[in-house]
Amino acid sequence: MHDGPNSPPTLHDVAREAGVSVATASRALNGSTRNVRSENASRVRAAAAKLGYQPHLSAQAIARGSTRTVALVVRDVADPYFSAIAAGVGRAAEADRLIVTMAVAEGSPERELEIVRTLRGQRPRVIIVAGSRVDGAGTGDALAEELRHYRTAGGRVVLISQPDLPFPTVTIDNRGGAERLATALLGAGYRRFAVLTAPPEIRTSRERHEGFLAGLRGCGVPEPLVIETGFTREGGYEAARRLVTRGFEDVEAVFAVNDVMAIGAMTAFRDAGVVPGADIGVAGFDDIASAVDVVPALTSVAVPLREAGARAMRLALSQDETAGAESSAEMPTHVVLRDSTHVRPAP
Amino acid sequence: MHDGPNSPPTLHDVAREAGVSVATASRALNGSTRNVRSENASRVRAAAAKLGYQPHLSAQAIARGSTRTVALVVRDVADPYFSAIAAGVGRAAEADRLIVTMAVAEGSPERELEIVRTLRGQRPRVIIVAGSRVDGAGTGDALAEELRHYRTAGGRVVLISQPDLPFPTVTIDNRGGAERLATALLGAGYRRFAVLTAPPEIRTSRERHEGFLAGLRGCGVPEPLVIETGFTREGGYEAARRLVTRGFEDVEAVFAVNDVMAIGAMTAFRDAGVVPGADIGVAGFDDIASAVDVVPALTSVAVPLREAGARAMRLALSQDETAGAESSAEMPTHVVLRDSTHVRPAP
DNA sequence: TTGTAGGCGTTATCAG
DNA sequence: CTGATAACGCCTACAA
């Protein structure tokens, strides 16, 4: 009570309060509890409780040489795609009493690089990068370099949906899902399509686009119209508006490379007096929660996003173990047809 | 090159590589750059770059006695309400080069307590608790106790939407917003209401409920029917289904205490063949992004969630400064009437 | 079972 | 301007 008012209590304080040495206090609170006399152990615990002691994680980290931290990089927390992944990572981390620190790489690659750098300073057990702009091991790819440094220093890296980098990756079957979606839409009677894509640097978008084209190929349908826009709800809205302005007599259905874009597009259509599902089919990708709450309910490709996050964690953790550890996993996707592609256009 | 293959390079390695002392290396990389000869400085920087050195944040934390970490506690990342707040916190933190660590307190108060405890071990500059189950300073409130410990040790606590605890708080004008919503709905011609609430332990729900009742009071309308359910989309769905089953001849409009519940309710209505906006009015609270994408667009009360998060950060940071620092802030809310309460019921 | 002492990677103090 | 050296809070042989 006679020292400074603030600055949290240390192990020394607890030891003094309990009348034992720091070593004993340390052992009683963390090390193998077996080796300390139970009376002392409870004295220490009592002292800790009384003082409101909480071990300094940084001190433990440096003393032990390792942390219980998982670093997660996402592009945007507010995007349901990423928050679902984040939720999965969080849940899996919790099971192992790991702490997840989350960084948001809004847009700029520089920012992204800076983030991974900082993260590296945290000495996390694992770094998980979800949907960033890691594009290929091309020259000047400072990000990959940074991750390589981290891995060399004993860190574990897991990427989500960035299969072309030399790190364990949780992959999503974007291509296959989009291909099956194309098939399903053909089956529903649609023949003439527009595709709403994001810029090709965003690999997820590119894969879905390519998969969709692949599904169409050889079926004698015309080459789809392609409208490039942002990977966001606003992007989708804007693209649909452009489509309406241009005139869409030659388009029966629109495939947006993700659900938020598709939902934005549906709203744009409605705002322009075009009825989605009736006047034009709309399909998305991801099957986010709100896909069933829009009208008409959105046809989409379901992606187990939470599972992907959880899987990434497990993948990272399993790398400790003997060589047998698998180094990547692909999450399956499946088409969910709903009313937004229900009404088959008249021939 | 002759030591173990992994374990990241330390400042010693950099110093050796650059041919200077650790002290100099430290100064060149972090301390006031002015006091080191520019030639040495660049040698050090070069060595650091070559080795891929990254300062050990934990070591810095313990040496400096402080961290650059902000801890954020939310109930669920995947809920747009919390992810919007998180986004705001993240943005504000970024401006001060602070790192956000995010913990998810899914449900159980024990888990929540454990989280704050662990967080305390991180020695963050700030702990922000958003929408947890802190209910009142009643006896046995271990969470408040934990936060008090933290604050005593010099930490800054900011709560979002928990005004009855003795910590700086960013408050949301739930009561006022709900009251004005009630007035607006009365103005639109609705007279007989049902309220979809969450259990009263969730203070946000309680406030909105009470505000709504207050807005109705003295207007000669019947006491609303109250349906208690979960604070989630599923809760809303379920409650609406119950309402339909029960029969809703005496209800013209439904007020759900948040948007995800309202959206769930709308879907339930539709599934039961009841047309929201026409057969029954629906209003929510929060004005989340998807409120404009559902059909009919959802009447709601807009809450500046991102701003609330950012504000919480600033509030925390300003507590450093001289006594004049404000200790709380209230975020305004405003009613947004849309088509879900557009069609005025026949008298 | 317990205490002493050295070390983890940085920063900060204090002589050179 | 630079280099030893003592902290920082904790863990862990090693010795008692």
The DSSP H or E segment spanning A99 is strand A99-104
Q: Write out residues 29-48 of A within 8 Å (CB-CB) of B.
A: none
| Cα angle A299-A304-A305, degrees, rounded to a multiple of 5 | 105
Q: Collect the ranges in chain A with pLDDT lower than 70.
A: 1-5, 107-108, 132-140, 320-326, 343-347
Q: Are A248 and A265 in contact (CB under 8 A)?
A: no
The predicted pLDDT at position B321 comes to 54
Exposed e or buried b per residue across B253-271, where buried means at least 16 C-beta atoms within 10 angstroms of its C-beta: bbbbbbbbbbbbbbbbbbe
Of all helices (H) and strands (E), which one includes residue B245? helix B233-246
How many residue pairs from chains A and B have C-beta atoms closer than 8 A?
166
Mean pLDDT (10-residue bins), chain B, 347 residues: 66 96 94 83 95 95 94 89 93 89 77 85 94 51 86 92 85 96 96 95 91 96 97 96 96 97 97 95 95 95 96 88 68 97 65
Nearest nucleotide relative to A36: CA against C1': C1
- Proportion of chain A above pLDDT 90, given as a percent: 71
Domain boundaries of chain B, sorted by first residue: 11-64, 69-172+305-331, 174-303
Q: What is the value of pTM for the model shown?
A: 0.88
Closest nucleotide over all strands to B37 (CA to C1'): D1
**pLDDT tens-digit profile of B167-206?**
999 999 999 999 999 999 999 999 999 999 999 888 899 9
3-state DSSP call for residue B32? coil
Q: Strand D footprint at Cβ < 7 Å?
A: A 7, 10-12, 22-23, 26-27, 29-31, 53, 55-56, 59-60, 62-64; B 20-24, 27, 34-37, 39-40, 62-63, 65
Question: In Å, what is the separation between the CA of A62 and the C1' of D8?
Answer: 11
Residues in chain B: 347
Edge-to-edge order in the sheet of strand A225-228 = A225-228, A193-197, A253-256, A281-283
The partner residue sitting opposite A99, judged by closest CB among B78, B94, B101, is: B101
Interface of B with A in 187-246 (CB under 8 A): 233
In this structure, are residues A73 and A67 in contact, taking their beta carbons and an 8 Å threshold? Answer: no
- Give me the pLDDT at residue B53, please: 95
Q: Quick one: tokens of B284?
A: 């929510």
Architecture of the CATH domain B69-172+305-331:
3-Layer(aba) Sandwich (3.40)
| pLDDT value for B141 | 76
**Tell me, what's the pLDDT at A133?**
59
Residue A53 burial by Cβ neighbours in a 10 Å radius (0-12, 13-18, 19+): buried
Q: Which residue is nearest to nucleotide C7 (CA to C1')?
A: A63
Quick check: helix, strand or coil at residue B28?
Answer: helix
Looking at the DSSP bridge assignments, the partners of residue A159 are A129, A169
Count CA atoms within 13 Å of residue A38 on its CB side: 0
B11-64 CATH, one of 3.40.50.300, 1.10.260.40, 3.30.300.30, 3.40.1190.10: 1.10.260.40
Residue with tokens 């009263």: B200
**What is the reported pLDDT for B140?**
40
Would you call B233 helix, strand, or coil by DSSP? helix
Strand C surroundings (CB within 7 A): A 20-24, 27, 34-37, 39-41, 62-63, 65; B 7, 10-12, 22-23, 26, 29-31, 53-56, 59-60, 62-64
**What fold does the segment set A174-303 form as a domain?**
Rossmann fold (3.40.50)
Tell me if A11-64 shares its fold with A174-303: no
Cβ-nearest to B122 among A57, A83, A117 = A57
Contact B78 A83 (CB under 8 A): yes
Contacts of A67 in chain B (CB under 8 A): 58
Res A5: pLDDT: 54
